[in-house]
Structure 1
Amino acid sequence: MHPRVLLRELKQEDVPIIAELANNIKIFNNVRDAFGHPYTEENAQRFFEHQAESDTEVVFAIETDGKLCGLCGLILQDDVYGKSAEVGYWLGEPFWGKGIATSAIGLLVSHAFKEFKLIRLYAGVFEYNSGSMRVLEKVGFVKEGISRKAVFKNGKFWDEHRYAVLKI
């Protein structure tokens, strides 16, 4: 775990930094199409405003050494899935490979279980994103299965690897 990683609330002044970091095809290739590419400051502003109004999405800025380096969050589920949440995250490319994502997701898992009284967290990862799979595995997520050709991204069908961690 990276010792200088913290999660904090999003702030208006984060918008230009989010836009700068998120405007990267390598990030877009590993997230849902709604994320968008190119990713502009207007996209970041709309995202910021949406988060302020959402009661089902909880998003945190990932910060290391005082610098915003990405985002992570939860999509809270409802009805019979009300004790579960989907985990999502991305990190700006300059911060890859430094243990930051692993630390951030570890913090997010602890927060989710403690503050939201959740029992299960899950994440879907595109078949070619082995780095994200390693991040999840390092913080205790277990691969539950593979949904074959479940994702249509960049004109091709891909498998989605589904990971989950349970509060024990």
Structure 2
Amino acid sequence: MTDDVARRVSLRAAREDDLPTLFEIQLDDTAQHQAAFTDATARDRDAYLEKFRRILADDTIVAKVVEIEGDVVGSVAVFPIEGDTEVTYWIRKDWWGRGVATAALAALLADVTERPLHARVVQDNLGSVRVLERNGFVRVGSEESFAPARGATVTELVLVLSD
């Protein structure tokens, strides 16, 4: 990661007026393949907007947009699921490989001090694995899961940040 990019990344609370931009960002086919676990709302704008309106209204979810110089380039969030608290992030493809996801997750982790935090990532999504490991997440296991965006069962790594 370059120091320049890290300094330019900022987070702010996600708002309803961000949702159309976030929908467009996640439409990228390569990004959906890498994420693997998109749901039926990924291609349906109205369903996506409705789902994320519920997310924004849920006080148990911390949802932030990632900006670079005022331009929305993605999102990061912390959410409860099955008794754990997980992190997630999505960065616009033209910013991949430039340290944006690493810096955005680091900023989120500075704001959200709850531990442990969990993360899941498809084993072959090496960029995302690196983002998590650079932020202190450690692999604790794996499982086979059906990935809707791939229409196949994949190996999903389970990572935890304890401190």
Report the TM range for the smaller structure's normalisation. 0.7 to 0.9
Aligned residues: 157
Native 8 Å contact 2:16 2:56 kept in 1: no
Unaligned residue ranges in structure 2 (runs of 5+)? none
Q: 2:12 — aligned with what?
A: 8
- Separation (CA, whole Å) in 2 of partners of 1:103 and 1:43: 30
CA contact (8 A) 2:138 2:161 kept: yes
Paired with 1:61 and 1:18, the residues of 2 have a C-alpha distance of 9
Give distance in 2, aligned partners of 1:128 and 1:75: 23
Is structure 2 residue 40 aligned with structure 1 residue 32?
no
Asked whether 1:63 is paired with 2:59, we answer: no
CA separation of 1:35 and 1:165: change in aligned 2, threshold 3 A:
farther
Q: Which runs of no fewer than 5 residues in structure 1 stay unpaired?
A: none
AA partner of residue 61 (structure 2): E
TM-score (norm 2): 0.85
TM-score in terms of structure 1 length: 0.83
AA at the equivalent of 1:151: F
For the 8 Å contact 1:24–1:37, the answer to whether it is kept is no
Deviation (angstroms), 1:10: 1.4
Residue pair 1:86, 1:122 contacting (<8 A) in 2 also: yes
Cross-structure match for 1:145: 141
Q: How does 1:1-168 map to 2 (within 5 A)?
A: 2-29=6-33, 30-34=35-39, 36-38=41-43, 40=45, 42-76=46-80, 81=83, 84-113=84-113, 118-147=114-143, 149-153=144-148, 154-167=150-163
Contact 1:28–1:36, Cα closer than 8 Å, also in 2: no
CA RMSD in angstroms comes to 2.0
Partner amino acid, structure 2, of 1:127: Q
Percent of aligned positions with the same letter in both sequences? 27
